[in-house]
Structure 1
Amino acid sequence: MNGSIQNPMLSKAGALVKHIKSQQIDRDEAKKSHPTFYRNLEEALDVRRGTQSLFSIVQSNWQTKNAVDFCSNDYLSWNTTGLIRTHFLDELSRYPDFSVAAGGSRVMEGNYPYIEETEAEIAAAHGAEAGLITSSAFDANVMVWTALPRPGDVIVYDALVHASTHEGMERSLAIRKTEFLHNDVDSFRETLLAIIDSQPLIKQGKRSIIVAVESIYSMEGDVCPLLDLVEIAEEVSHGHGNIQFVVDETHSTGLIGPKGYGLVCELGLEAEIAGQESIQILARTFFEALTSHPLWPSAQEKGLLSVPLAAGWEERPYLTHIVTVWPRQKYIYWLYLHLLSCSFFVLPVKQPIVPVGESRLRITFHAENTPAQVTALVEQIFTWMEEVMDIEQGKTQKKVTRAAGEVYVWMKQEGLRGFGMV
């Protein structure tokens, strides 16, 4: 890390500059003469740009093969290894008359046998009565929560369920939506009891409570205590069977349970597959390298670095493939840029995805990652931390870490702002 950083991903020609520029307030005076409709749109976008919270589409660095992927959701590396493409083409060759255009919605003559057969296979794999393929997980949550709750029903949801669940709940017919503290079984019990006491029809078993949880929470990396929640629901419902669960398995399918069918299928079972086990090895490697590093105690003591899932990791039977690293809030982009300079691509997560003051870096492990890459990632986290400690202790004249400093030089030249710039 001595000398100038030459990684092309930090240069003015890389994808990073496109992302940073997309977050800058548009000061083009000519646009003030545009029609009102377009001016109003730009003003709304500038609100997001001003807080660096505008979502924009740019080239992903890891897809250019210039960086190690610690950010995508390709957990089993089926995309990067070409496995999905191979199986797709093989399947397509088995059905030469397969229609690639529906010709309409499924309720308007656009249905066909192949998709029904696929849905039946998916349902059978999960032990369900039926299955329905949707265009995305987001759409699935919106559809489920819009359609399922009936008038008089109540929705109880974990405080950290996905935005798509909230969007669906807002469209539902439920008379009430109540959250319980994240993964807190006591809060869950208290919430259920309060609803049962206040809603006579639910107490009589004539209306239902529908519970929204996720098997793995993608911005926290922790696992839902589903079995405990189900036991509590059975206990307080007194045999009415009117407390039902909807479990979002987006980030557990393929990773947990027999054949990767998810947390629901995993409960009480122990089957594993090779891809899953390799990710477990990577997660254990990460936590072992992190917690055994000489600087780890100092990182916690000084509040420079926090990894919530590191506490008690040895005792957990299952380690998730998602780990969140929390630098001190003002250093989020410093660490992100440092790792990028070392060709490690992780995901900085800020508001509006998470609340203000809870920004973190999200690291995801994939079957194609190696223990050596994970160990090197941890080493670079602590290399960065040493730089920060030197700055805070006045051991250097620098005001910013090396990688961030290099980026901020050309940001200033371009008149760009934000992203932790000092």
Structure 2
Amino acid sequence: MDDSTAIGSNIAIRIRNQKVDKQARKSLSVFYQNLEEALDLRRKNYNLFTILQNIWQISDAVDFSSNDILSLGSSSLLRREFLNELEKNPSFSPGSGGSRVLDGNYPYLEETEQQIAEFHGAESGLLFASGFDANVAIWTAIPRLGDVIVYDALVHASTHEGMSQSLAMARKEFLHNDIESFRETLVSIAETQPLIKSRKRCIIVAVESVYSMDGDICPLQELVDIAREVFVGEEGTVQFVVDEAHSTGVIGENGKGLVSALGLERAIAVRLHTFGKAMSAGGAIILGNNTVRTVTINFARSVVFSTAPSFPFVAAIRAGYNLLASGQTEKVIFKAQDRVQQLVRMFLDAIVSHPHWGAAQDLGVIAIPLTVDTWQSQPYLSHIVPIRTQEPYHYWLFFHLIFKGFSVFPVDYPTVPKGQSRLKITFHAKNTMDEVSLLVKTIFEFVQEVVEIRNATKWGNEVPSAARSVYEWMEKEKLTGFGRM
């Protein structure tokens, strides 16, 4: 590995940052020594987070990792729309006057919230600086003392953060996307919680439309139907909160999200849409009725004690929604939504029809959970496709793809549970069919190399060529981890 190149340097920094250097911190004060000791716990497990420019930003590697799903971030159309918003409001202030409950409110902000709410078929909305802030606000403000939260096992960390601070009487997990587990959980609560049984308190369900680590879609209609069956004649006892972070702009007509695609706007109490992904902006919005909005304003500390979103921040969000509402993401920008669906289907079809796919699965070299289900008949697929591997194969595949010019994202503990590491591939409207075909070809080059090693008469400590070049460099640097011990 040549650490003087952009890609080699990126990998080198990632690996070097995991090294525990006790000698270097001996001269530090106790304060900084304590902090470094906390970081060393991450370094010892080779999972210290490092902020770096991604491979596609510093080289000509193909982007299969960023959140710019509709490729609006690289579109001059979005930039023009944003500048138009600024030009239409020449007297805007670049800052904000304070909290929304003090001097931070202004007409453009409220107009944008209402525009977004109407686009998604909701009564009202409330903008936040980030999806994390919005999720924490939902779960700290909305559940009342005595309510019970029921949540999918794979909900986002921000949901867990909010739930841990909520007033809810209890929290119950159900197995990920498991309809029967959900039913059993509701029945158990109905039988054991008097306040729920007497309809004095509610069950609030936390799910996501698209799960970012597994790339699968919530069976939302089925969950809603089960809630109605278990609490027949007791409408309102079960209320849903749907995090639409990864479906905004991608799923449904004009990218309205899963709830709208299923026609469940009136059945879902609260929705969260974020703008840092397909919308190529920042922030998030909580959608619901006026009661939900008012409760959030009053009981969410991130509203009361935070500065309101600034005009440029809101204008960037509004610009994206102007493009969605006018249909330009479906007609002008690469036919972006259809394009993403087409590329994902092409990728999955090429994977499962490849002659080495069977051997790859049998030997545990790679597995793609989405191929297990009847993905061919699904009306829409996620833009996220995780590739599961044995450890340390996920490192080996990461090195292989990076050196071949593909920017992909390895996901390890603590982002996912131990033993569930994977490579996350994200598709974008700007990706080409040739790029997808080459990606599949490159994945199976890796598969073939590993299979040949596995089938060798004398099994030793051999690793694929890309990993070998990294490990040779690591040996010179006296580094361990990333599959090298």
The TM-score with structure 2 as length reference comes to 0.82
Cα distance in 1 for partners of 2:111, 2:469 equals 55
Cα distance in 1 for partners of 2:59, 2:433 equals 18
Cα distance in 2 for partners of 1:335, 1:18 equals 18
Question: Which residue is equivalent to 1:157?
Answer: 151
Question: Which residue is equivalent to 2:446?
Answer: 384
Question: Which residue is equivalent to 2:378?
Answer: 316
One-letter amino acid of the counterpart of residue 233, structure 2: G
The CA deviation at 1:313 is 2.3
Give yes or no for the alignment of 1:421 onto 2:484.
Answer: yes
Question: Which residue is equivalent to 2:237?
Answer: 242
The superposition leaves residues 287-337 of structure 1 with CA deviations (integer Å, 9 ceiling, x where unpaired) of: 111011110011111111111101232222222111110122221110001
Cα distance in 2 for partners of 1:378, 1:347 equals 16
The CA deviation at 1:25 is 1.4
Give yes or no for the alignment of 1:307 onto 2:368.
Answer: yes
Whether the aligned pair in 2 keeps the contact of 1:7 and 1:341 (CA below 8 Å) is no
Pair 1:285–1:194, CA change in 2 (3 A): same
Give yes or no for the alignment of 1:231 onto 2:293.
Answer: no
Give yes or no for the alignment of 1:360 onto 2:422.
Answer: yes
* Residue in structure 2 matching 1:401, options 453, 464, 468: 464
SS in 2 for 1:227: helix
Number of matched pairs: 415
Give yes or no for the alignment of 1:135 onto 2:196.
Answer: no
The CA deviation at 1:126 is 1.2
Cα distance in 1 for partners of 2:160, 2:172 equals 11
Cα distance in 2 for partners of 1:229, 1:56 equals 38
Pair 1:5–1:281, CA change in 2 (3 A): farther
Judge which range, 140-149 or 101-110, deviates more.
101-110
Cα distance in 2 for partners of 1:105, 1:16 equals 42
Cα distance in 2 for partners of 1:22, 1:154 equals 42
The CA deviation at 1:159 is 0.5
Question: Which residue is equivalent to 1:20?
Answer: 15
Q: CA RMSD in A?
A: 1.9
The CA deviation at 1:82 is 3.7
Question: Which residue is equivalent to 1:343?
Answer: 405
Whether the aligned pair in 1 keeps the contact of 2:69 and 2:427 (CA below 8 Å) is yes
Whether the aligned pair in 1 keeps the contact of 2:389 and 2:422 (CA below 8 Å) is yes
SS in 1 for 2:388: strand
Give yes or no for the alignment of 1:328 onto 2:322.
Answer: no
Question: Which residue is equivalent to 1:144?
Answer: 138
Higher normalized contact order (CA 8 Å, seq sep 6+, divided by chain length): 2
The CA deviation at 1:221 is 0.5
The CA deviation at 1:394 is 2.2
Question: Which residue is equivalent to 2:253?
Answer: 258
* Residue in structure 2 matching 1:63, options 43, 54, 57: 57
One-letter amino acid of the counterpart of residue 365, structure 2: L
Judge which range, 370-379 or 30-39, deviates more.
30-39
Cα distance in 1 for partners of 2:19, 2:394 equals 18
Cα distance in 2 for partners of 1:268, 1:246 equals 15
Gaps of 5+ in 2: 265-326
Whether the aligned pair in 2 keeps the contact of 1:391 and 1:399 (CA below 8 Å) is yes
The CA deviation at 1:384 is 0.6
Give yes or no for the alignment of 1:277 onto 2:277.
Answer: no
Cα distance in 2 for partners of 1:154, 1:352 equals 27
Cα distance in 1 for partners of 2:351, 2:24 equals 52
Pair 1:199–1:387, CA change in 2 (3 A): same
Whether the aligned pair in 1 keeps the contact of 2:155 and 2:208 (CA below 8 Å) is yes
Gaps of 5+ in 1: none
The superposition leaves residues 258-315 of structure 1 with CA deviations (integer Å, 9 ceiling, x where unpaired) of: 110100000159x993211111110111011101111001111111111110123222
